[in-house]
Amino acid sequence: MEKIVFGIDLGTTYSAVSYVDSYDKPVIMKNRSGKDITPSAIYFSKEGNIVVGQVAKEEADMDPTGYVEFFKRYMGTPFEELPDSVKKKFTIGTKEYRPEELSSLVLKELKRSVDESSLGVKMEQVVITVPAYFNEAQRLATKTAGELAGLQVLEIIKEPLAAAFDYTQNSGDDNRTFLIYDLGGGTFDATVMSISEQEVIEVASEGDSQLGGKDWDQRIFEFLYEKFIEEHPDYVFSPGDEKQLLLKAEEIKVRLTNSETTKAKLNFDGKKSQPVITRQDFEELTVDLLERTLDITDELINNSKAKGFKIDAILLVGGSTRMLMIKEALQSKYGLEPKTHDPDQAVAKGAAIWAVFAYTKGQKIVEKLASGELHEDSLTKEQKELLKNKDSFGEKLNTSVASFSNLSDKEIVTAATKTYGVKMIDKNDRPIIVNIIMKNTPLSGGYVTGKSKCYTLADSQELVEMKIYESDETEEVVNYKDFMVEQLVGQVDLGLPVGLPKGSPLEVTLTLNDQGIINAYAKEETHGRDASAEIHIKGLMTEKEMSDAVAHMNTLNIVDEI
């Protein structure tokens, strides 16, 4: 049996798995219910069994306690730092689950679908995708989720990049500047990406992590709720009823993609109502949501234009782009006919192609190490990470990178996903943040670097503490506000020589690489004393927490049905 590697779109609402088949085509791996996508939803029964996916969603309307979803929103946040309402939801019995542990259960279910399928191979090496706006902590937490599920995560890549890859391999069209408009269940992401024969450049990304199909569902929910209450004014909805009505709302939304009008059949506790809802009603109820995505898109397109990139194609990604209003609005606004190729599968398929590249890359390095052409010590951090489990590159793949020759030679230039700056004091003694690396700056050659000057604040100052902040700011200088304490990612301490007068010049340099690692360097210019620090990612699970989590995961039993 030849080796198969997998691509996973670990979505906020739905996840999908793909692999490149022996005809060199990325295909979707169906789940155990024969479906292409699996809801990223978990239900814990009181007896200690777990169901994942559609069954979990259905259990939720019987018993909403024990049901968890939307954990991807909190990826990379330690349990203690979650909002209280979320902590409550992520606590099952006495066990407090971190978002990466919950995500790992979804991954385990996807793995189970593959392992027990007729494909005849196990899911072992994978590439998992993340939103473009994920920072390093969120990317690493995603990797942790994979490891907790018993997977070897070859690489983590950005969703829009995966979608563009899938489109390019499928169409052979590799000279374009795309707007990738991704409206999923809970998030909206827009990215401009330019693909030429030599390069793939991530020009810029914008988004709203709190806007998605679920908000459209909510509007239908409210509509149906009101109609029902008009007929049964005394009825009091239970949490289970509400969950059920929400599921109904989603169903109706999907129906309105194919029909002009539909009837909701509601029955709560024997009380019935059959409100009619038309597509036009739906569009009117949600026009402001659509507008929000268009405003973000406009801003992105303008930013990209300013950098010399004009879009000539629109690629629709995410299940919610099936709603007709999206396509129509984009077409009339930008005069380009949006391409809808696999809206809810493109990301997984692109990840599957990437998995082939990553596995092949690993194999080549292993070969070179064996032949002595490369030495362990000369491996980069990323190469070492890829080769964590060297023995796993021994088998021959069922496909080859040669089938994707129009993709494999391209250099990929990603962009900074966040803005990084240093806290300083302005002339009026007020704290400010001076942003040094701006979000969306290209990492040409794999990194970007920026410098800024500042001055000592007192005579004979002994120490400067350069505090580094990560944000989504677009302005170079912002006033420091209290909430920004949460954006602190690290600091460099520079001890100063004795006797420096107040106002002595200092220089700070930040470097960000395409693995999200930030290096900070501070120098005092009078005598040239300097200090540097690599910024450590906060909030990751420790080895001990990981092994405890793995042990706990092993006590859990994922079943088909409760």
Chain residues that interact with ligand ADP, rule: CB under 6 A: 11-14, 37, 184-187, 212-214, 250, 253-254, 257, 318-320, 322-323, 344
| Residue 207 found at the interface with Mg ion (CB under 5 A) | no
| Residue 185 found at the interface with Mg ion (CB under 5 A) | no
From Mg ion, ligand ADP, none, interface partner of 152 (C-beta below 5 to 8 A by class): none
From ligand ADP, Mg ion, none, interface partner of 14 (C-beta below 5 to 8 A by class): ligand ADP
In single-letter form, the type of residue at position 424 comes to M
DSSP string for residues in 251-282: HHHHHHHH-SEEE--EEETTEEE--EEEHHHH
CB of 213 or CB of 275, closer to ligand ADP:
213
Alpha carbons 53 and 106: distance in angstroms, whole number: 8
In sequence order, which ranges of 124-212 are alpha helices (DSSP H)? 136-148, 159-171
| Residue 516 found at the interface with Mg ion (CB under 5 A) | no
Strands (E), 290-377: 313-317
Q: In whole angstroms, how close is the CB of 300 to Mg ion at the nearest point?
A: 18
Task: To the nearest 10°, report the CA torsion of 212, 217, 218, 223.
Answer: 150
Q: In whole angstroms, how close is the CB of 72 to ligand ADP at the nearest point?
A: 8
CB 96 within 8 Å of CB 77:
no
Alpha carbons 175 and 183: distance in angstroms, whole number: 24
The tally of CA atoms less than 13 A away on the side-chain side of residue 305 is 7
Alpha carbons 70 and 89: distance in angstroms, whole number: 11
CB of 247 or CB of 369, closer to ligand ADP:
247
Q: In whole angstroms, how close is the CB of 255 to ligand ADP at the nearest point?
A: 8
- 499 dihedral zone (left: phi>0; alpha: psi -120 to 50; beta): left
48 token code pair: 């200690």
Angle at 103 between CA 100 and CA 105, to 5 degrees: 120
Q: Which stretch binds Mg ion (CB under 5 A): 8-16, 208-216, 286-294, 497-505?
A: 8-16
CB of 130 or CB of 466, closer to ligand ADP:
130
Sign of the C-alpha dihedral computed for residues 301, 306, 311 and 316 taken in this order = negative
CB 49 within 8 Å of CB 559:
yes
CB of 5 or CB of 326, closer to ligand ADP:
326
Strands (E), 342-437: 411-413, 419-425, 431-437
Q: In whole angstroms, how close is the CB of 51 to ligand ADP at the nearest point?
A: 18
CB of 264 or CB of 416, closer to ligand ADP:
264
CB 249 within 8 Å of CB 218:
yes
CB of 143 or CB of 214, closer to ligand ADP:
214
CB of 27 or CB of 550, closer to ligand ADP:
27
CB of 190 or CB of 434, closer to Mg ion:
190
| Residue 212 found at the interface with Mg ion (CB under 5 A) | no
Q: In whole angstroms, how close is the CB of 385 to Mg ion at the nearest point?
A: 25
Q: Which stretch binds Mg ion (CB under 5 A): 182-190, 234-242, 326-334, 422-430?
A: 182-190
From Mg ion, ligand ADP, none, interface partner of 320 (C-beta below 5 to 8 A by class): ligand ADP
Which member of 7, 99, 146, 184 binds Mg ion (CB under 5 A)?
184
The tokens 């990084």 sit on which residue? 420
Alpha carbons 199 and 36: distance in angstroms, whole number: 31
Q: In whole angstroms, how close is the CB of 402 to Mg ion at the nearest point?
A: 29
From Mg ion, ligand ADP, none, interface partner of 511 (C-beta below 5 to 8 A by class): none
User: 428: how many CB neighbours lie within 10 A of its CB?
Assistant: 6
Q: In whole angstroms, how close is the CB of 12 to ligand ADP at the nearest point?
A: 4
CB of 255 or CB of 364, closer to ligand ADP:
255
Alpha carbons 249 and 236: distance in angstroms, whole number: 18
Q: In whole angstroms, how close is the CB of 220 to ligand ADP at the nearest point?
A: 10
- Spell out the residues 6+ positions from residue 440 whose beta carbon is closer than 8 angstroms to its own: 203, 204, 205, 303, 415, 416
Q: Which stretch binds Mg ion (CB under 5 A): 79-87, 184-192, 262-270, 516-524?
A: 184-192
In single-letter form, the type of residue at position 484 comes to M
From Mg ion, ligand ADP, none, interface partner of 553 (C-beta below 5 to 8 A by class): none
Segment 11 to 50, residues that bind Mg ion, using CB under 5 A: 11
CB of 136 or CB of 250, closer to ligand ADP:
250
| Residue 7 found at the interface with Mg ion (CB under 5 A) | no
**Which one, of 463, 461, 457, lies nearest residue 428 by Cα?**
457
Q: In whole angstroms, how close is the CB of 216 to ligand ADP at the nearest point?
A: 7
CB of 159 or CB of 524, closer to Mg ion:
159
Contact residues toward Mg ion (CB under 5 A) are: 11, 184
